[in-house]
Amino acid sequence: MVPTPPDGRAGIDAALVKRLIAAQFPRWSGLPVIPVEVDGWDNRTYRLGDGMTVRLPTAAGYVPAVAKENRWLPRLAPSLPVAVPTVLGQGVPGEGYPFPWSVRGWLSGETARRERIGDMSRFAVEVAEFLLALQRCDTDDGPVAGEHSFYRGAPPAHYDEETRRCLAALKGRVDTDRAAAVWESALAAEWRGAPVWFHGDIALGNLLVADGRLTAVIDFGTAGVGDPACDLVIAWGMFSGADRAAFRRAVGQDDGTWARARGWALWKSLLVLSETIDTDEELAALNRYVVGEVLADHDQFARP
């Protein structure tokens, strides 16, 4: 993960956004600029008037996503069952801000917290249908998984050393023997499928709902063409019980893809847990839960 600068916001505030808009898109200079209620790590986002947003990378490592999304979102959108961001303007460095940035159309809806979703099994199927539609999109000239996607869509082996460091650090605090078995299974389940589009960060913060239904998917910064296993991590991060089973049935995928997906979920949760286990009780508990669910899933579904 690329860290944000020391100030945590890369020097980004509403005043900077207003200056950038005035200098590069003067037709919108009279519109109010307001921070969004729920912001991300890779980018800072501001409402621009009622119908637009401004999105600015927080560090150099996130800059490749700007051009990628500007190019590919318009091509992917017609084939997807729910809305994705519409690019309205492409900004360049200026006013002391060093990176390219963009203006997007505002997408209505709220982030997909469980309390906002009446029927979780139906919602799980809607997420699966989005993923399958994305996988059917034309991959010609698509960005092959790699550094720009933080290796989502590539073999999980890229994070082998980091995962093993986390296992060593957490020994005696989680079941690292079972976790190591899950990780070994993920590494052994070599992907041999045709490359498909993946989103790379299917999580509640990037899924928007209205009236309990999936209405939009945002933040394609880690998207690319490769192995779709990374997009199944939501099975343990958000779904459980009947809704997880509904997601599994609807999205399909073979045993090897599910093994790699468990590896992706395990890597991220072990990493966060190793960093928070003694400092952030709530975040540590959430990631400890995900690790437990992944281990149980491996026990139930992994073939000997």
**Residue-level pLDDT at 3:** 38
Helix %, strand %, coil % for the chain, to 5? 50, 15, 35
Residues 241 and 126 in one domain: yes
Residues 147 and 85 in one domain: no
Residues 267 and 151 in one domain: yes
Residue that terminates a domain, selected from 106, 130, 153: 106
- The share of the chain scoring above pLDDT 70, in percent, equals 96
Residue that terminates a domain, selected from 106, 123, 156: 106
Token pair in block for residue 153: 């869509």
- Which whole number is the average pLDDT over 101-110? 94
Residues 140 and 207 in one domain: yes
- 65-83 in b/e form (b: 16+ CB < 10 A) is bbebbbebbeebeeebebb
**Residue-level pLDDT at 304:** 65
**Residue-level pLDDT at 49:** 95
Examine the pLDDT at 40 and tell me if it is beyond 90.
no
Residues 143 and 249 in one domain: yes
Residues 229 and 178 in one domain: yes
**Residue-level pLDDT at 216:** 97
Examine the pLDDT at 8 and tell me if it is beyond 60.
no
**Residue-level pLDDT at 9:** 55
How many CB atoms within 10 Å of residue 34? Answer: 13
Token pair in block for residue 279: 């400092």
Q: Quick check: is 215 in a domain? A: yes
Examine the pLDDT at 255 and tell me if it is beyond 50.
yes
Half-sphere exposure of residue 2, counting CA atoms within 13 Å on the CB side?
20
Residues 207 and 223 in one domain: yes
pLDDT classification of 11: cutoffs 50, 70, 90: confident
Residue that terminates a domain, selected from 82, 106, 130: 106
Residues 83 and 61 in one domain: yes
Residues 84 and 116 in one domain: no
pTM: 0.91
Residues 117 and 22 in one domain: no
Q: Quick check: is 277 in a domain? A: yes
Q: Which domain holds residue 283?
A: 111-301
Q: Quick check: is 8 in a domain? A: no
Q: Quick check: is 120 in a domain? A: yes
pLDDT digits (tens, 9 = 90+) for 200-245: 999 998 999 999 999 999 999 999 999 999 999 999 999 999 999 9
Residues 230 and 196 in one domain: yes
Examine the pLDDT at 1 and tell me if it is beyond 60.
no
Residue 31 belongs to domain with CATH number = 3.30.200.20
Residue 231 CB contacts under 8 Å (≥ 6 apart), including other chains: 131, 134, 198, 199, 200, 202, 261
- The share of the chain scoring above pLDDT 90, in percent, equals 88
Examine the pLDDT at 36 and tell me if it is beyond 90.
no
Structurally, the chain folds into a number of domains equal to: 2
Residues 79 and 218 in one domain: no
Q: Quick check: is 30 in a domain? A: yes
| Average pLDDT along the chain | 93
Token pair in block for residue 173: 């605090």
103 φ, ψ (degrees, to nearest 5): -110, 130
Q: Quick check: is 9 in a domain? A: no
pLDDT digits (tens, 9 = 90+) for 54-94: 999 999 989 999 999 999 999 999 999 999 999 999 999 99
**Residue-level pLDDT at 10:** 59
Which of 287, 247, 221 has its CA nearest to residue 117? 247
Residue 253 belongs to domain with CATH number = 3.90.1200.10
Q: Quick check: is 222 in a domain? A: yes
Q: Quick check: is 57 in a domain? A: yes
